[in-house]
Amino acid sequence: MPDGKNILVGITGGIAAYKICELIRMYKSSGANVKVVCTPNALNFVSILTLQTLSQNKVAFEQFEIGDFKPEHISYADEADVFVIAPATASTISKIANGIADNLLTSIAAAFNKPFVIAPAMNTNMWNNPFVQENLQKLAAQGYTIVPPESGFLACGTTGEGRLAALDKIFDTTVDILCGTKKFLSGKKIIVTAGGTVEDIDPVRFISNYSSGKTGCALADTAFRRGAETVLITTKNVQKPYKVVKVKSALEMQTALSEEFDDADYIFMSAAVADFRIKEFNPQKTKKTDSDTLTLELVKNPDILQYLCNKKTSSRPVIVGFCAETENLIENAKNKILKKGCDFIVANDVSRKDIGFSTDENEVYIINRNLDVKKVEKQSKLKIAEEIIKEVYEKSGNLCTHK
């Protein structure tokens, strides 16, 4: 993770500028320092206040400001380790490729001699314009990293190539450049479960829980970034550059896991699986009656983790369970690893408001079969995921020269 690295984000005037607010949050969660520079047009799409609050830094957009002894374009270029321009419009791409420096962003670009990440976003015809393509080729030939746009629905109402690449891709590209991320999981298949299962009562009602699926997503993203063949089995709607299997109930999750199990090397069971489901699903909406009470009969769901641990051979796959507790965290987690037979258990305290369910941060304990406990201090779920994967990989017999 790019702890303490300096990322300069350049935003130009395209509608995709609004998405960069989330990209800034991702960079900040990964521990990087973020500064933002905007073209004047970009500020028609996003506000300085939003960018300033998210980056926790002053946002630069004017070329000349009285009072600074060092011109901004030089100090920004000096400080940053990478310059990420997203979205990059046809205009800015073409200016940079031709050495034109007519605003602060393009001036910094002209003075910047470290790695660039350029994520273009524009209308399909602009994208296909031969001059724009020629200018992009010029940048690529000079070693600028281009994260190409995707096909999809565009703000101009058409469908085609030109939509900003997924933020995950821009983020991963940046981290790879900054950290030279080692693909120590290449050749390994990793399955991650995420989200809370949904157990239907009738066509309009269900039983579920508060799990956001964020930890699971962060684990799958990390596994993928580290080179693993990644499968995310989740109850949430997500788009990822790796295989996602959408499920709803515990039984569907069990089926999906059984289908992926045989050639898996690691399974991270971070989903919050309902222990019970409705005994008899009512195919019609349950009507209100004169009675003041309603009794729902529940039946036990299979314990998928235990079921998989029983299927496991001595060495494969390594299975990691998760436990969310409101009291006696370590003691309950130790009992659980022994009862369920998994290789590791990751425990977190869900009684605390500042970590766990639906928040972006967590603090966890990783416990192995010898009942050794490793505390992972409170930090973003993204960094927690990196620590969990690293610890499990190393403690299951691999030497991980991380970074």
Tell me which stretch binds ligand C5P (CB under 6 A): 100-108, 206-214, 286-294, 303-311. Answer: 303-311
Q: Is residue 303 part of the contact set for ligand C5P (CB under 6 A)?
A: yes
Beta strands 266-269 and 276-278, pairing class: unpaired
Q: Kindly state the tokens that stand for 260.
A: 């992926």
State yes or no: residue 301 binds ligand C5P (CB under 6 A).
yes
Does residue 318 belong to the site contacting ligand C5P (CB under 6 A)? Answer: no
- Active site amino acids: 156
Judged by CB under 6 A, the residue of 17, 82, 271, 355 near ligand C5P is 271
Q: Of all helices (H) and strands (E), which one includes residue 340?
A: helix 329-340
Return the range that interacts with ligand C5P (CB under 6 A); candidates 230-238, 299-307, 348-356, 373-381.
299-307
Examine residue 162 and tell whether it contacts ligand C5P (CB under 6 A). Answer: no
Task: Please give the C-alpha separations between residue 207 and each of 40, 138, 200, in angstroms, as whole numbers.
Answer: 49, 56, 6
Q: Pattern of binders to ligand C5P over 129-148, x per CB under 6 A?
A: --------------------
From 177, 269, 367, 392, residue interacting with ligand C5P (rule: CB under 6 A)? 269
Our finding on whether 78 is near ligand C5P (CB under 6 A) is: no
Residue 191 CB, shortest distance to ligand C5P, in Å, is 12
213: left (phi over 0), alpha (psi -120 to 50) or beta: left
**280 C-beta neighbours (distance < 10 Å), count:** 9
The C-alpha atoms of residue 46 and residue 14 are separated, in whole angstroms, by 10
304 binds ligand C5P, rule: CB under 6 A:
yes
The type of residue at 139 is L
Considering only residues 329 to 348 of the shown chain, the ones binding ligand C5P according to CB under 6 A are 336
Name the minimum Å distance from CB 234 to ligand C5P: 12
- Number of Cβ within 10 Å of residue 174's Cβ equals 28
Contacts of 128 (CB under 8 A, 6+ apart): 161
- Asked if omega into 87 is within 30° of 0 (cis), the reply is yes
Integer CA distances (angstroms), 82 to 76, 88, 402, in order: 11, 15, 21
Q: Is 165 helix (H, G, I), strand (E, B) or coil?
A: coil
In the set 77, 96, 109, 250, which binds ligand C5P (CB under 6 A)? 250
- Does residue 273 interact with ligand C5P by CB under 6 A? yes
Cα within 13 Å of Cα(365), Cβ side? 20
Q: Looking at beta carbons only, is 323 or 382 nearer to ligand C5P? A: 323
Q: Which of residues 180-219 bind ligand C5P (CB under 6 A)?
A: 193
Kindly tell me which of 31 and 341 has the beta carbon lying closer to ligand C5P: 341
Quote the least distance from Cβ 267 to ligand C5P, whole Å: 9
Does position 260 interact with ligand C5P (CB under 6 A)? The reply is: no
List, in sequence order, every beta strand (DSSP E) within 145-265: 145-146, 150-153, 159-163, 189-194, 199-202, 205-207, 229-234, 243-246
Position 321 contacts ligand C5P (CB under 6 A): yes
> Could you tell me how many residues of this chain bind ligand C5P (CB under 6 A)?
14
- Min separation Cβ 124 and ligand C5P, Å: 43
Residues in contact with ligand C5P by CB under 6 A are 193, 250, 269, 271, 273, 275, 301, 303-305, 321-323, 336
